[in-house]
Amino acid sequence: MADQIEAHPPQARRRGSSIRVRLMLLILLVTIPVSGERLVSLFNQRAERIADTEDTLHNIAVRAALAQQEAFASATAMLEVLSREAALLLREPAVCQRLTERLNGEVAGIQGLYFSTPEGRILCASSRSVVGMDISDKTYLARALASNQPVLSDLARGPSALAPLVLSKAERSDNGEPVAVVIVGLDLQWLSRIAAETGAAAGVTVDVIDAQGTVLVRYPNNGDIVGRNFAGAPLVQATAERDEGNVHVPGLDGVLRYVAFARFAGTDARLVVGMDDASILDPIDREILSSIVLHLSVLAVVLLVTWYVADRLVVQPIRRLAADISALGEGDGGNYGLKLDALADVGVQEFAPLVKAFSDLGLRLTERTSALQTLNGRLAALASTDGLTGLANRRTFDVQLSEDWVRSRDDARPLGVIMIDVDSFKLYNDALGHLAGDDALRAVARIMLAAVAGTPYLVARYGGEEFVVLLPGADLEAAREVAEDIRRLVMSLGIVHPGVAIRRLTVSAGVASTVPGNGQSPDGLLAAADLALYEAKGKGRNLVMTHVGPPAH
């Protein structure tokens, strides 16, 4: 009998090892799916963050490129005026000199004004030092002499003595012979400032790269990059293939970046906006790594505890149970009742904590899963936009108007609204077709966005050919100035309208502003602006009218 009793412990140990392994496998079956779900969710968040960053960078690049149209439009308008007066101004050199110096200092985005002969001799300029000099690069000069329209130079061939990018137009005599060429230099630093300020908070880099791959502007400023040619760099090659888009390539400094780019209208130069991988992915990668470490640590602790608990609460009780059963088999009747009580104690006291431990573990994992699902459910925010123009739609405008109304009322600040309508738009559609009408609406939308670039103002399509601008903090005079800017910029687009006398597409605007008070409503402010718009239409269109007095309640 003693030999049989000694044979039991090895069998118990083999059976105990099997139980521990099975319990650890059970732990793995419970925790791995939950941990896997968490990791999959984090990697999905990583992909979403990359996609959101690409969308943000693309929007910055496109908005910045569109904003340049304001500078081009302003320069073009000034060029048209100066070219018509070129012959007169050149007869008065002192007057011409003062005018060019004053305009160069007052007009944003202008780097120089020049009047030259058709042969390239500078007769009058905003910089006295170049008067009497010859323009070394005649390429764009020849293009201006061959055209009756303003000519935009190629950035790569721009005359360094004047500016890297110029607009030029030839003035002709009554018999069509060129008598002078007017040249307006564009300031690339100013052209890229809007994009730089937009991207500064997000930590992005902004480059302006010409057709040959030379960096003309860099933000933040980097003297080692500006002026160098990077024609063979992956970034330059990738961005040269399309007018706009997104790529993931090493930047000009060798740092891997997510990049968005857009081409300057009329040139092969690109505005490139980039953000390095580290600033985008480091936070989520650290979260993923910490989650993996945490889950592995918890799993290791749980497995060690399970091994210990299984040994103490399962294997050892079973061994004691086997020993007690063996002792019962020896027929020691005097202690039989006590040994039965011991068996009962083993069954209840040893296994209950293990069951409870598993229950607690399942509860904690369930709570984490529930919290994760709740967090994931909050990750969505889509802005409603108008499908044709890309502007905010009316629903978005209505929501923003309500919020700004309450905020302006609480802060006792003015809130302005501009109602804008494209003049005689039905005649435009009837004459040129709805596709041309859609193109016109998109052009008007772009110029409106350019007019409010860098401000907190919201431009929205209100319906049909009607637009609206919401101007928090703008009094009546400030709102009227914005409306006048928009009206002038639309005129400067030069969109031909065959159905009206002036042969140009124009807009009319109604302006209203108020400091919201109790008893007033946003609808009253809109009604006031609409009334002013109606007055502008009635007085002949292509006008800006303001509503004076409190809005309707």
Q: Nearest CA to 204 among 56, 68, 63, 67?
A: 56
Distance CA 499, CA 505 (A): 9
3-class state of residue 535 by DSSP: helix
In the residue annotation, 465 being an active-site residue is answered as yes
Q: 96 by DSSP, 3-state: which? A: helix
Question: Among the residues of 335-424, which ranges form H helices?
Answer: 336-349, 351-377, 394-411
Encoding tokens for residue 83?
């070219």
SS3 content of the chain, % helix, strand, coil (to 5): 55, 20, 25
Contact 211, 155 (CB under 8 A): yes
Instruction: Compute the radius of gyration of the chain from its Cα atoms.
Output: 38
Q: HEC string of 470-528?
A: EEECCCHHHHHHHHHHHHHHHHHHCCECCCCCCCECCEEEEEEEECCCCCCCHHHHHHH
Stated as kind and residue range, the H or E segment containing 27 is helix 2-84
Angle at which helices 476-493 and 434-451 pack, to 10 degrees? 130
198: exposed, middle or buried (C-beta count within 10 Å: 0-12, 13-18, 19+)?
Answer: buried
Q: Are 63 and 449 in contact (CB under 8 A)?
A: yes
| Secondary structure (DSSP) of 292-351 | HHHHHHHHHHHHHHHHHHIIIIIIHHHHHHHHHHHHHTTT-GGGHHHHHHHHHHHHHHTH
CA distances, 318 to each of 26, 323, 395 (Å): 20, 8, 71
Measured in residues, the chain has a length of 553
Give the SS3 label for residue 267.
coil
Of 70, 465, 466, 477, the active-site residue reads 465
Q: Which residues are catalytic?
A: 465
